[in-house]
Structure formats: C-alpha cells, structure tokens
C-alpha cells in the first residue's frame, strides 16, 4: 500500500531535476502540477525563471502538460500565456486525468514523468499508472484546508518511510 506513495525521486525544486538523465532513460514528457509545484498558489503568472525552464524543456524535445486539481479559471489563466496544454479539475489521484494527459502527450507511462508537491495526489496518481514520479518541496507554506490535512498525513508517511529505510533523500518535513 505505502509503496504506491513512494516517489522515484525527491528534489528541492523543479529546477534541480536532471532532464538530461531522464531523457537518457527514455522519458519524453512531463506532467506537472501547478500550485506549489511550479509557482505559489497565489501567483497568477509564471516567473521569468519558470518561463526559461519550460523553454529549456521544450527545446530538449520534452512535451509538457499541466495537470491540476484547481479550477478552469486558475489553470487556464496560468497555462494559456505559456502555450502549455492543461487539464483542470483533474481529481488527482484518480487515473482519468493522467490517462487523458498520456493520450494528449502521445506517450506511454514509462516515457512520462509526473512532477508534483503532494504524495497523496501527484505521486499516488502517477505511481498508480506506472509513471515515473518526482516529489518536490512545496514552493510556499500557504495552502488550503485540505492540502494542510494532506501535509499532516504526509509527515506521518515520511516518518514511516524513514523507519523502514525507504527514504533515499532527506525528510522534507
């Protein structure tokens, strides 16, 4: 059960992900969460650093799609100026949005990485479909009620993982 919420990798931010290595391993696409993964939930637009990051990925040939549990207004206002396809109200960790993303990206699960800041939505959803998963430290501490509940459960899971030697990184909490 817990194995389904263990990410393949943990990094401090999206900017630390080694996309050259992922490409070498056959990864062709990235599904990314929006809020607290790419930017703070309160930030309406991409930062210049994020724009450069996206340009670099796309320049390397990666296909990128935002998959968010947030509403259409929030996600479309963020994604459209970047010309990045998106799925809103994804209902992660349910698999429908992940399957839809794979179809749109035209990739197989083993060719796709899911990048997000939450174990019980991003990592669990990605792992259930056989995607590679990368957990990032949230970019902000400001979070909604349900996310705060998820964070409490995540801390318990991180302690459990650490006790069993399943953490190959430093506990982020």
Distance between start and end Cα atoms, the chain: 21
Give domain status of residue 172, yes or no.
no
pLDDT in tens, 91-114: 999 999 999 999 999 999 999 999
Contact 171, 67 (CB under 8 A): no
Residue 119 belongs to domain with CATH number: 3.40.50.1000
Give domain status of residue 17, yes or no.
yes
pLDDT in tens, 146-165: 666 776 777 777 677 777 77
At residue 11, does pLDDT exceed 70?
yes
- For residue 109, the model assigns a pLDDT of 98
- For residue 5, the model assigns a pLDDT of 84
3-class DSSP assignment, residue 42: coil
Q: Domain limits at 80?
A: 2-163
Number of domain units in the chain: 1
At residue 62, does pLDDT exceed 60?
yes
Residue spans of beta strands (DSSP E) within the chain: 9-11, 29-32, 63-67, 86-87, 112-116, 132-136
The whole-chain average pLDDT of the chain stands at: 90
Total-model pTM: 0.87
- For residue 1, the model assigns a pLDDT of 53
3-class DSSP assignment, residue 163: helix
At residue 173, does pLDDT exceed 70?
no
Give domain status of residue 92, yes or no.
yes
Give domain status of residue 41, yes or no.
yes
Contact 166, 159 (CB under 8 A): no
- For residue 145, the model assigns a pLDDT of 63
Give domain status of residue 127, yes or no.
yes
124 vs 157: which has the higher pLDDT: 124
Give domain status of residue 168, yes or no.
no
Give domain status of residue 58, yes or no.
yes
Q: Which two tokens stand for residue 72?
A: 């259409």
170 vs 11: which has the higher pLDDT: 11
Mean pLDDT (whole number) for 26-42: 96
CA distance 93 to 69: 9
Give domain status of residue 73, yes or no.
yes
């Amino acid at each position: 059960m817990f194995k389904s919420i263990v990410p393949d990798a943990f990094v401090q931010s999206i900017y630390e992900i080694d996309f050259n290595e992922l490409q070498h391993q056959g990864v062709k696409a990235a599904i990314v969460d929006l809020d607290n993964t790419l930017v703070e939930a309160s930030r309406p637009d991409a930062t210049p650093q994020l724009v450069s990051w996206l340009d670099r990925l796309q320049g390397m040939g990666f296909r990128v799609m935002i998959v968010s549990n947030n509403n259409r207004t929030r996600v479309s206002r963020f994604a459209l100026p970047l010309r990045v396809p998106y799925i809103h109200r994804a209902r992660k960790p349910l698999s429908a949005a992940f399957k839809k993303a794979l179809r749109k990206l035209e990739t197989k699960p083993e060719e796709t990485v899911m990048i997000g800041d939450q174990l019980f939505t991003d990592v669990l959803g990605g792992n259930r479909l056989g995607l590679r998963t990368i957990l990032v430290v949230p970019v902000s501490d400001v979070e909604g009620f349900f996310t705060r509940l998820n964070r409490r459960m995540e801390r318990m899971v991180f302690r459990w993982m650490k006790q069993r030697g399943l953490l190959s990184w430093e506990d982020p909490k």
